[in-house]
Amino acid sequence: MLSGPAILRISVLLIIAGVLAAVVQFLLPSPEPAPMTAPAPMAESPAVPTPPPAPPAAAEPAREPPAAPRTVPIPAGPSRLPSDALAFPPVDPATPPGVQAQAQETAGQAEVDRAEDSAGPRALAVVDLNTAPVADLNRLRGGGAIGRAIAAKRPYASVDQLLSKRVLSRALYDRIKDQVTVR
């Protein structure tokens, strides 16, 4: 008779054997299936002619190695944006990877600089002190986590009440005063 620990060991070994069999089955290529042949005709029904069985398939021709990936040029048209050139830069196999990365980074920075030069002033999101959620107040540029303090002293008649109600310091008020309003 087997004891409990012996049964446990045997169970664990069977599980490990099953897992190993599954891994081997998955990793090893399966053999090509044999071609299906038609069943032999029965002697009782000679009236139905059957075609002769096909000759076994000849050995497969040697497979060619996969072709190298082709680069398809994309024609430049009016629908292309200047940033399309940076999305999929051409890869030159003769250039070392480090040089390619540096060239891509330089081209990307040049694109950002051109965009910054042509862009107008940054738009500021104006947030209402009386109705804005705390999360929006915390997102004010230069403000930090001030949303809870502002919400606690609501309502406000003007933006200046952030100072008169002693909600914010003068320095913090100067940083966010252009981003808030009272409606």
pLDDT digits (tens, 9 = 90+) for 33-69: 666 666 555 555 555 556 666 666 555 556 666 666 6
Q: Does residue 133 sit within a domain? A: yes
Q: Long-range pairs for 42-46 at CB < 8 Å and ≥24 separation?
A: none
Between CA 112 and CA 121 the distance in angstroms is 15
Is the pTM higher than 0.75? The answer reads no
Looking at the 3D structure of the chain, how many domains does it have? 1
Q: Does residue 174 sit within a domain? A: yes
Q: Does residue 109 sit within a domain? A: no
pLDDT at 58: 56
- Cis omega before residue 66 (within 30°)? no
Which domain CATH number covers 164? 1.10.150.320
Q: Does residue 176 sit within a domain? A: yes
For residue 126, the Cα-to-chain-centroid distance in whole angstroms is 33
pLDDT at 44: 54
Q: Does residue 117 sit within a domain? A: no
Q: Does residue 145 sit within a domain? A: yes
Evaluate whether 170 touches 163 at the Cβ level (below 8 Å). yes
With H, G, I as helix, E, B as strand and everything else as coil, classify residue 127.
strand
pLDDT at 93: 62
Q: Does residue 89 sit within a domain? A: no
Q: Which domain holds residue 169?
A: 127-181
Q: Does residue 106 sit within a domain? A: no
Q: List, for the chain, all residue ranges whose pLDDT scores fall below the cut of 50.
A: none
pLDDT at 26: 81
CB atoms within 10 A of CB 156: 19
